């Protein structure tokens, strides 16, 4: 059994290629069933988003898993195989686990820390599960990957900081007001950027939108889009008392909002904070306003600075996410080890030997006075019985373990014999890990991957 990944993403393929290789929801069932009809593929999950198409598969040991998947992709989308390979990346074994965990943690996304990818991977897995193409290994792998996604989002700040100007404004507003539900925003000027920011604020719960513009008709037009209220330009400072957030983007060449006017408006706000966003260049709002108590003013440079520092922070948080991924990979490896046939057989034998020794000791106590020769004979007899009883099952277990779904036999044996722990530790286990993670064959695979233009690590 091998873990295999074949895919392409925004990092390796332009949109013209990506759009040709999508698997929309209504075609997933068909695609999965075609994939599983290939004798080389035991389990499969197809992840298809606007930025990536990836096929995760458990392929049969000794087969050309990546080749089979490339054939499937080329046939399914009616593309030239050699042309297609130029855009694909291939991973096998441990690298697949790492890649999936990085994808779910959104470390491989176009915008690091974006939240949608976790849901998209969940959806892909659910399709596979519903179509019986996710078996024991993928059930464990994908569920653990969701755990990775959750941990990364809850234990790091990777997705918490806004990376666009308008979202940065919303994020800052939430740091002032906590909840934007029921708040009032005053838009000064009818620029595109202020409209976009207001749109984000409204989608975050802002209730009332007031629009002031030198041309009243334009104010009405914009207010209409938000079911808001247009106000006369000369009423601006009077209505500012009602506003919690002010967005300004007029074409004025001087300060439209001055410190004394805002100070006067603040007096009737009874200590309620006022958040001002000045997106205009040249600026509309006197920067000295920021010195007033309870007034927080951000201009376009401040917001850009916030975005920049947020991006840097996401990169820092990405390093913490990598640590979480490393921890989860160890956990997955442990699970794989527990599915290992060699330690399972050893554990069965150890358990049988434990039972034999205990029973023999009890019997010898009852018999008493036996000669050395008789003791040896009884010992050999019981050992022989145990060995003969175990030989058949363990030999057959070893035989089927390497086959498709062989790990289910191992798991059943562990269940039947009540083996809850691996008695031999990790070092001696080789078979399934080697098989799934492809460690023994990595060196051999490397040359193939290079030939295929591998881009592992994205």
Partner 1 sequence: MEQAAVVSFWFAMALYLVATVLYSYHFVAKRPVFSWYATFATGAGFLAHTASIGLHWGATGETPITGSFNSLSLTAWTLVLIYFVVEHLVKLKLYGAVLVPLAFLAMATGQVLLGSESFELGEAAISQLDSWRVGMHVALIMIANASFAVGAAASGVYLLQGAQLKKHKTSALMKRLPSLTQTQMLARRAIMLAYPLYTAGMLLGIVRAIEFDLNWWFDPRVMMSGVVWAIYGSYLLLHYRRGASGKLLARLALVGLVAVIVLAIIARTVPTGFHIFGL
Nearest alpha carbon to residue 49 among 94, 7, 98: 7
- Contact between 268 and partner 1 by CB under 8 A: the answer reads yes
Tokens of 84: 């297609």
- Restricting to residues 46-105, which ones interact with partner 1 according to CB under 8 A? none
Q: 36-40, long-range: CB within 8 Å, 24+ apart, which pairs?
A: 36/133, 38/68, 38/72, 39/63, 40/64, 40/65, 40/68
| CA–CA separation, 457 and 94 (whole Å) | 12
Q: How many helices (H) and strands (E) does the chain have?
A: 18, 10
Nearest alpha carbon to residue 75 among 45, 49, 43, 37: 37
Tokens 């209220």 belong to 229
In the list 167, 298, 332, 409, the residue contacting partner 1 (rule: CB under 8 A) is: 298
Shortest separation between residue 248's beta carbon and partner 1, angstroms = 16
Query: How many other C-beta atoms can be found within 10 angstroms of the C-beta atom of residue 394?
Result: 19
In the list 92, 278, 284, 302, the residue contacting partner 1 (rule: CB under 8 A) is: 302
Of 157 and 441, CB closest to partner 1 = 157
Of 268 and 377, CB closest to partner 1 = 268
Shortest separation between residue 174's beta carbon and partner 1, angstroms = 6
| CA–CA separation, 245 and 268 (whole Å) | 15
Shortest separation between residue 288's beta carbon and partner 1, angstroms = 13
Shortest separation between residue 176's beta carbon and partner 1, angstroms = 5
Shortest separation between residue 287's beta carbon and partner 1, angstroms = 10
Tokens of 222: 């914009």
| CA–CA separation, 319 and 12 (whole Å) | 23
Q: List, in order, residues 6 or more apart from 45 with CB less than 8 Å away.
A: 55, 56, 57, 124, 125, 127, 128, 133, 134, 138, 142
- Contact between 160 and partner 1 by CB under 8 A: the answer reads yes
Tokens of 270: 């009874």
Catalytic: 458? no
Of 76 and 146, CB closest to partner 1 = 146
| CA–CA separation, 211 and 184 (whole Å) | 11
Cα-based angle 25, 132, 127 (whole degrees, multiple of 5): 20
3 state SS of 420:
coil
Q: List, in order, residues 6 or more apart from 5 with CB less than 8 Å away.
A: 54, 55, 56, 57, 89, 90, 91, 92, 95, 96, 99, 100
Q: Which string of x and - marks every residue 388-427 that binds partner 1 (by CB under 8 A)?
A: ----------------------------------------
Of 309 and 412, CB closest to partner 1 = 309
Shortest separation between residue 191's beta carbon and partner 1, angstroms = 21
- Contact between 207 and partner 1 by CB under 8 A: the answer reads no
| CA–CA separation, 455 and 3 (whole Å) | 16
Choices 86-94, 148-156, 216-224, 247-255 (CB under 8 A): range interacting with partner 1 = 148-156
Choices 42-50, 266-274, 424-432, 433-441 (CB under 8 A): range interacting with partner 1 = 266-274
Nearest alpha carbon to residue 223 among 194, 261, 244: 194
Choices 78-86, 167-175, 217-225, 426-434 (CB under 8 A): range interacting with partner 1 = 167-175
Of 183 and 434, CB closest to partner 1 = 183
- Contact between 177 and partner 1 by CB under 8 A: the answer reads yes
- Contact between 241 and partner 1 by CB under 8 A: the answer reads no
How buried is residue 418: exposed, middle or buried, by Cβ count under 10 Å (0-12/13-18/19+)? exposed
First to last CA, the chain: 24
Q: Which of 50, 224, 227, 458 is catalytic?
A: 50
Choices 98-106, 292-300, 431-439, 449-457 (CB under 8 A): range interacting with partner 1 = 292-300
- Contact between 313 and partner 1 by CB under 8 A: the answer reads yes
Shortest separation between residue 242's beta carbon and partner 1, angstroms = 14
Shortest separation between residue 275's beta carbon and partner 1, angstroms = 9
Number of residues that bind partner 1 (CB under 8 A): 30
- Contact between 310 and partner 1 by CB under 8 A: the answer reads yes
Kindly tell me the sign of the dihedral angle through the C-alpha atoms of 180, 249, 273, 209: negative
Shortest separation between residue 315's beta carbon and partner 1, angstroms = 14
In the list 82, 192, 254, 267, the residue contacting partner 1 (rule: CB under 8 A) is: 267
| CA–CA separation, 80 and 265 (whole Å) | 68
In the list 82, 254, 270, 388, the residue contacting partner 1 (rule: CB under 8 A) is: 270
In the list 106, 161, 249, 449, the residue contacting partner 1 (rule: CB under 8 A) is: 161
Residues in the chain: 458
Positions touching partner 1 (CB under 8 A) are 154-157, 160-161, 172, 174-179, 267-271, 273, 290, 293-294, 296, 298, 302, 305-306, 309-310, 313
Q: What are the residue numbers of the active site?
A: 50
């Amino acid at each position: 059994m091998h873990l295999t990944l074949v895919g392409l993403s925004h990092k390796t393929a332009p949109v013209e290629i990506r759009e040709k290789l999508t698997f929309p929801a209504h075609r997933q069932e068909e695609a999965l069933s075609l994939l599983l009809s290939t004798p080389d593929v035991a389990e499969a999950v197809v992840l298809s988003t606007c930025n990536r198409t990836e096929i995760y598969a458990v392929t049969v040991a000794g087969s050309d898993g990546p080749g089979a998947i490339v054939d499937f992709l080329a046939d399914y989308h009616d593309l030239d195989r050699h042309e297609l390979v130029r855009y694909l990346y291939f991973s096998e074994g441990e690298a697949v686990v790492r890649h999936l965990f990085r994808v779910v943690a959104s470390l491989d996304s176009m915008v690091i820390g974006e939240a949608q990818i976790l849901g998209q991977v969940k959806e892909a897995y659910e399709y596979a599960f519903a179509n019986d193409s996710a078996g024991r290994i993928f059930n464990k792998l994908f569920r653990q990957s969701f755990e990775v996604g959750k941990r990364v989002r809850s234990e790091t700040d990777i997705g918490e900081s806004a990376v666009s100007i308008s979202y940065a404004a919303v994020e800052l507003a939430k740091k002032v007001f906590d909840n934007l539900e029921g708040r009032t925003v005053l838009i000064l000027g009818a620029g595109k950027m202020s409209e976009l920011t207001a749109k984000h604020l409204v989608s975050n719960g802002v209730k009332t939108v007031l629009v002031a513009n030198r041309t009243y008709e334009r104010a009405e037009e914009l207010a209409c889009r938000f079911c808001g209220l247009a106000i006369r330009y000369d009423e601006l400072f009077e209505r500012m008392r009602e506003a919690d957030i002010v967005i300004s983007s007029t074409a004025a060449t001087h300060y439209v909002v001055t410190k004394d006017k805002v100070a006067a408006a603040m007096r009737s706000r009874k200590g309620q904070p006022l958040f001002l966003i000045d997106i205009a260049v040249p600026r509309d709002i006197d920067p000295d306003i920021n010195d007033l108590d309870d007034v927080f003013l951000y201009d376009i440079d401040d917001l850009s600075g916030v975005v920049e520092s947020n991006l840097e922070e996401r990169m820092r948080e990405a390093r913490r996410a990598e640590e979480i991924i490393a921890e989860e990979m160890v956990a997955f490896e442990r699970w794989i080890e527990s599915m290992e046939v060699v330690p399972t057989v050893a554990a069965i034998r150890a358990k049988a030997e434990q039972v034999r020794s205990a029973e023999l000791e009890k019997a010898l106590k009852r018999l008493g006075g036996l000669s050395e020769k008789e003791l040896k004979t009884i010992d050999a007899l019981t050992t022989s019985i145990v060995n003969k009883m175990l030989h058949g099952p363990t030999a057959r277990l070893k035989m089927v373990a390497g086959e498709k779904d062989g790990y289910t036999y191992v798991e059943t044996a562990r269940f039947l014999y009540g083996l809850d722990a691996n008695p031999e530790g990790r070092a001696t286990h080789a078979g399934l890990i080697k098989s799934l993670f492809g460690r023994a064959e990595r060196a051999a695979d490397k040359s193939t991957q290079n030939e295929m233009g591998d881009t592992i690590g994205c």
